[in-house]
Structure 1
Amino acid sequence: MIGVLRWLVLGLSLSFAVMHLARLYPVTPQWVTAVLILGVYGGATLLVLLRALRHPVRAVAWRWMAAGLFCYTAGTTYSWIHTWNGAILPFPSPSDILWLSFYPLAYIGSLEFLRERDTPRRTLLDGAIAGLGGATVFSAFVVDLLIDPAGTGGLANYVALAYPLGDSLLVGTLLARAALGSWTGAPSALIMAGFSTFIAADTGYIYQVSHGSYDPGSIVNLLYVLGLAMIGQAAWQHPTPVRPALDDHHRLGASVIFAWATLVILLLGNRVRLSALTVGLAGLSLIMVVLRTMVSIRELEAVSRARHLEARRDALTGLANRRAVMEHLDGLLDRPDPPPIALLLMDLNRFKFVNDTYGHQVGDRLLEAASERLQQTTRAEDVLARLGGDEFVVVLAGPQVAEPAAAGLATRIRERLSGLFHIEGLDIEIDVSIGIALRSGDDDANLLLQHADIAMYEAKRAGGGHMIFHRRLLDVPPSIDTPTPAVPPSPSPASSSPA
């Protein structure tokens, strides 16, 4: 059925074209012309409606298109019935209401094609700028200079302006679609060609009517028939992408061109009279430019924040990194009255054995699992970070920070990390050595970290556990950390806590 209907619409439109091109219109019986025109309009409407009913993909967009074509076909049918015996169709008439209904319905359908894509706001605004800017150019050079429909008065004046407004919005829709790069092969090509032909016909019709030179046998009616026939055929074309969407650079370039064109037209308004339609479209275009600028600024701020956070996050565990810890410590110490600060520096015992024996993938999973347990042990206000390798650090700050609080947290961390880790079918047991440094006097961030490092190595030399830094540790000669046996599971070394 669909194939027959498509061939019928194609045959009727070609027959009408032959009749026009052969200049047979004046001698063709009126009923033949009516059958050809209404046959193409009705067939195109039915093709689009069947497409919307039988296929769920983009069905909403096609329904709006079908509604627009139905209104246009109904308006044409009314005009044929009213003028069949030679009567003159008044202006405006019910046909104008139906014809004008085509524009918003087709416009909504075109937007539905764009809305069904997952399109960023900046891309939609680029399309809006291109669309409204193109509509402004069309209105200025076609409506204001060629048509100038303001010669009529009252309601007729507004109706006359509604046609070029609808055409301008359709032009804008086509340009927005081109700027967004939303191509789906033959359907898009035929829709674009059909709308373009329809707009050309409408422009010619309004121009002829405004100058009193309209001729039913002119090329205008042929363009209407061909335009609507192409839209009907588009509904049953296979949607294959013919090119990718434009990248941000080219899409932004298109919107910039139309934005500048809008500004030029407004500047020319000081020398040439512009219609309210042109000025209104130009104003909307500039509003879109302002919104696009605001979106760009917000996106740049978001990118800047993301990069700032990325530079201060450990890629593997998602924890803060050394840079973030040092900045946090500097921020605390730069206060007029710095709070008490404790720093817990941790090193995972036997991690190197696991990493070398089972591979880096298991080692990475172990670090991720350890970081999760550390997050469950620390408070939200504490700063937990991975300094690199198997070293982690916790920064405590606040009035409650003292040796008992820091030692208690170290004990809880050791208990939490002492449980078996089940990773990729392996049962892995590790221990942790923790060095604790509490700020005293004028210690800066580097000195605080150095003291925690000294205490941590003393804890490792003692066999694990935690150690609180005291000045006497500065006199202890440095020791070389000796690896201890690791997996398979072995008893954790006893902790030492001289605090």
Structure 2
Amino acid sequence: MLRLSRTPSPASPPGPRSAVPAWAFLAFGGLAAVLYAVVPVALTPPLFLAVAVASIVATAIGARRHQVAGVRRPWWAMVAAETLFLGGAVLRAVIPGVDATPPGPAALIPDVLVVPGYLCWAYAVIDMLRRRRPTKADPAAADALLIGLGATLVVWVFLLGPRIAAAPESTASQVAAAFFPVVDVVLMVFAAQLMFADAARVPALWLLGASATVMFVGDLMYAVHEDGVDSGSPLVRLFDIFSLLAYAMMAAAALHPTMRTLTERQSVALRYFGIVRTAGIATVLVTPTVLAMVAPPSTGWNGAVRLALSFLLTVTVVIRLVRANNSQTRAERAARHRATHDALTDLPNRELLTETISRLSEADEGQEITLLFIDLDRFKMVNDSWGHAVGDELLCAVAARLRTAVRGEDLVCRVGGDEFVVLIASTTDSSQVASLTERLLDDFAEPFDLSVGSVVITPSIGVASSDGATEALELIRDADTAMYKAKSSGRNGYAFFDQILHEQVRTRVEIEQALRGALDRGELSVHYQPIVDLANDELTGFEALMRWDHPQLGRVSPLEFIPIAEDTGLIVEYGAWLLEEAANQLVRWRAARADDLPPLHISVNISVRQLRDSALVGVVRRALRRTGLPASTLWLEITESGVMEDPETALATLRALRALGVRLAIDDFGTGYASLNYLRSIPARIVKIDRSFVAGVGEGSHNEAIVKAVVAMAHALGQRVVAEGVETVVQRDWLRAYGCDLVQGWLYGAPRSADAQVAWMDRTATALQLDHLS
């Protein structure tokens, strides 16, 4: 046996990792910072060196351990920044005169490495932001800029402003020291964007943000120390402690498994403002006022700079508010569009159609509201033949054609799978609506050019109008009802909703409500119609037919309640009941029947809904097992149109039924998709000719040629033929002469209850015995 083993791709993301090393290193860094504050001065350089080197190594290990090749570049830049910072610290420790008081030109030598270190750190954060940021409309940039401007204002007031004012007395080292907090501010802006972005906030992100903040505070302290030029100042050691913490946090961020998300594109994760973010922005906004009170500007130009920074803060806030409002408006419009439009065709959906009808009705401007409810005929066959992708392609093409066919002010909607509605609000009269509807039928006659070639599909259109206040759902329902009338009239046409249809709808609703629970109330019964062998006029079986007697409605015609049971799905339950009742009755008849008489069969109709139900085979199997009826005596009647609703599923079900041993019959043959190909593909051994073709045979009707052809075709395929609706002796004799096998109809008996058929069978048996004796 061959086995395919899958090895991980070199570019695949690493699997789950433990976060323990990250937190352990952070604890190590914190402990080192505490020791740095208390150990003798002679021990501080080796302690600093150990922590810095360990951090650089840990960052490199984290990059290789948690990040895939090809996207480690920001982390290598971070390693380079740490290395350059360490190099600057080493130069500060070994070069004579760097720490001289007051500082001289030698103090600038470490900056040769420190400045590139800042550039590498900035590059790392910018690259992470570029890779990770979920959307360009993310408000994180504005919020980060607010933080940066606030920090810049603080740096200006306490460092840059005083340093520039004292320019003649300031050394180059002091100017450079004042420069680093400004750089830190820029870095903080980029780091804050990472923190504030509408994406997942993970521990590695928090650690990196904390590192940037600590660097800013440390550089601020160092700049203050340079102002004091006191080498023994405690600020020097505090600056080193903050540097150690920054190292440890960067390394911990790299060691944490979530670090890989800092270089992955994030999906938008909108959230409410947190306390920290809200407090930070609020602090920035009050900073100008607080600074003006605590440290008022000493010169005019100093005040001008502070005013400019305050102005930029205000402008940024305004931009932030405007963008947030616009973003919310766009989001609401997009959500509204998604809720009221079809995702496939981008047409308005049922919700927007309902709202528009209600709005026009409430306006009451004397306009007539007309709906054209359009359903595509046999659209399911397109999906079954070419797949749903082609079906979707056709729906989009239909949508485009409908848009082109109607006026700009008319509303074209898609309200269901293959259902469209055109809303017309005007003073248009019925003749103009009919003209538009006929034009739509003509437009659909033109083939649709699809990827599989030219496809022609026809519509059935229902028209309903209202010239006053109306309920939207009622008007849509009326148009839908008219569409079904057009479909039942032969498809590829249209029908207007009128009072007659309204009464039919009301009646249908009453019947549907009454039909629910009819089985539980014992209102359903089974009637049986004889099926006779034409060769000898002997009874061979019965067709079981469902009947319904309602206390108020009386005897309801099967032509009325069977389609409703089909539409509502009740036919699945009621059909299973009919099957078992008929099977039980045939078992009783067979037990009471004389041995010298032909064995009987029972024929039961299977509806389209039942045929689509995957449980049908199990229902038949259980009915046979519970009743003990031989499978060969059960005939199941199916229609050609029922099979063609879903050919693959239907044929698979029919083959499974045939495997049980039951016999399959094609009912109402000739009224659907009758052809030799269908007769060959459906595993049926009986063909039932519809009564509409039997009418007039023996009297020179044109139906005679059709019946002859069906009989000859069925016999050629080894199938038996049953003629339905035989009512006269002339019909019977003609059918017998041309080889029809079996017949049923009122000539031999109407559908009756089981008890009535027992009496009929007794009389028939007695008559046959008398015929034999005579």
Alignment counterpart, residue 238 of structure 1, candidates 256, 265, 279: 256
Residues 214 and 242 of structure 2 are in contact (CA less than 8 Å); yes or no, is this contact kept in structure 1? yes
Question: Considering only CA atoms, is the larger Rg found in Structure 1 or Structure 2?
Answer: 2
Query: What stretches of structure 2 of length at least 5 have no aligned partner?
Result: 1-23, 381-387, 449-456, 509-559, 564-607, 609-638, 645-671, 675-774
Post-superposition offset of 1:178: 4.9
* 1:66 corresponds to 2:90: no
Amino acid at match of 2:72: A
Counterpart of 1:409?
440
* 1:153 corresponds to 2:167: yes
Cα RMSD over matched residues? 5.9
Amino acid at match of 1:409: L
1:192-341 correspondence to structure 2 within 5 Å? 194-215=211-232, 218-220=236-238, 222-223=240-241, 226-227=244-245, 229-231=247-249, 233-234=251-252, 237-240=255-258, 248-251=270-273, 254-271=276-293, 272-273=295-296, 282-313=310-341, 319-322=347-350, 324-325=352-353
Residues 144 and 193 of structure 2 are in contact (CA less than 8 Å); yes or no, is this contact kept in structure 1? yes
* 1:110 corresponds to 2:125: yes
Post-superposition offset of 1:42: 5.8
Please give the alpha-carbon distance, in whole angstroms, between the structure 2 residues aligned to 1:188 and 1:450: 56
Q: Using CA pairs below 8 Å that are at least 6 residues apart, which structure has the higher relative contact order?
A: 1
Please give the alpha-carbon distance, in whole angstroms, between the structure 1 residues aligned to 2:120 and 2:147: 17
Counterpart of 2:685?
none
Please give the alpha-carbon distance, in whole angstroms, between the structure 1 residues aligned to 2:53 and 2:327: 48
1:422-441 correspondence to structure 2 within 5 Å? 433-435=460-462
Post-superposition offset of 1:210: 0.9
Please give the alpha-carbon distance, in whole angstroms, between the structure 2 residues aligned to 1:189 and 1:97: 30
CA offset digits 1:367-413 (Å, max 9, x no partner): 978845633653446443244697532358999x8856631422554
Please give the alpha-carbon distance, in whole angstroms, between the structure 2 residues aligned to 1:85 and 1:475: 104
Residues 317 and 371 of structure 1 are in contact (CA less than 8 Å); yes or no, is this contact kept in structure 2? yes
Please give the alpha-carbon distance, in whole angstroms, between the structure 2 residues aligned to 1:182 and 1:284: 30
Count matched residues: 448
Counterpart of 1:358?
none
Residues 137 and 262 of structure 1 are in contact (CA less than 8 Å); yes or no, is this contact kept in structure 2? no
Please give the alpha-carbon distance, in whole angstroms, between the structure 2 residues aligned to 1:453 and 1:14: 77
1:437–1:232 distance in 2 versus 1, CA, 3 Å: closer
1:159–1:410 distance in 2 versus 1, CA, 3 Å: same
Return the TM-score normalized by structure 1. Answer: 0.64
1:210–1:436 distance in 2 versus 1, CA, 3 Å: same
* SS of 2:132 mapped into structure 1: coil
Amino acid at match of 1:61: P
Q: Among all aligned residue pairs of Structure 1 and Structure 2, give the percentage whose two residues are the same amino acid.
A: 21
1:176–1:393 distance in 2 versus 1, CA, 3 Å: closer
Amino acid at match of 1:116: R
1:159-170 correspondence to structure 2 within 5 Å? 159-170=176-187
Residues 486 and 494 of structure 2 are in contact (CA less than 8 Å); yes or no, is this contact kept in structure 1? yes
Amino acid at match of 1:410: L
Post-superposition offset of 1:90: 1.9
Amino acid at match of 2:105: P
Amino acid at match of 1:227: L
Post-superposition offset of 1:227: 3.4
Please give the alpha-carbon distance, in whole angstroms, between the structure 2 residues aligned to 1:39 and 1:374: 73
Stretch moving more, 201-210 or 167-176: 167-176
Amino acid at match of 1:64: A
Post-superposition offset of 1:324: 3.7
Post-superposition offset of 1:153: 0.8
Please give the alpha-carbon distance, in whole angstroms, between the structure 2 residues aligned to 1:291 and 1:321: 36
Return the TM-score normalized by structure 2. Answer: 0.45
Counterpart of 1:378?
402
CA offset digits 1:71-113 (Å, max 9, x no partner): 4334344444541699764277343354344444424423434
Residues 198 and 223 of structure 1 are in contact (CA less than 8 Å); yes or no, is this contact kept in structure 2? no
Please give the alpha-carbon distance, in whole angstroms, between the structure 1 residues aligned to 2:346 and 2:483: 24
Residues 343 and 449 of structure 1 are in contact (CA less than 8 Å); yes or no, is this contact kept in structure 2? yes
Residues 482 and 495 of structure 2 are in contact (CA less than 8 Å); yes or no, is this contact kept in structure 1? yes
Please give the alpha-carbon distance, in whole angstroms, between the structure 2 residues aligned to 1:132 and 1:21: 34
Residues 32 and 51 of structure 2 are in contact (CA less than 8 Å); yes or no, is this contact kept in structure 1? no
Please give the alpha-carbon distance, in whole angstroms, between the structure 1 residues aligned to 2:53 and 2:378: 80
Residues 373 and 463 of structure 2 are in contact (CA less than 8 Å); yes or no, is this contact kept in structure 1? yes
* SS of 2:421 mapped into structure 1: strand
Counterpart of 1:144?
158
Post-superposition offset of 1:222: 3.8
Post-superposition offset of 1:13: 11
Counterpart of 1:422?
none
Please give the alpha-carbon distance, in whole angstroms, between the structure 2 residues aligned to 1:369 and 1:11: 63
Query: What stretches of structure 1 of length at least 5 have no aligned partner?
Result: 1-6, 355-363, 418-429, 493-499
* 1:464 corresponds to 2:478: no
Counterpart of 1:497?
none
Counterpart of 1:83?
96
1:413–1:83 distance in 2 versus 1, CA, 3 Å: same
Stretch moving more, 443-452 or 298-307: 443-452
Stretch moving more, 79-88 or 93-102: 79-88
Residues 371 and 424 of structure 2 are in contact (CA less than 8 Å); yes or no, is this contact kept in structure 1? yes
Post-superposition offset of 1:219: 1.9
Amino acid at match of 1:273: P
Post-superposition offset of 1:248: 4.8
Please give the alpha-carbon distance, in whole angstroms, between the structure 2 residues aligned to 1:126 and 1:374: 46
Residues 197 and 223 of structure 1 are in contact (CA less than 8 Å); yes or no, is this contact kept in structure 2? no
* 1:128 corresponds to 2:144: yes
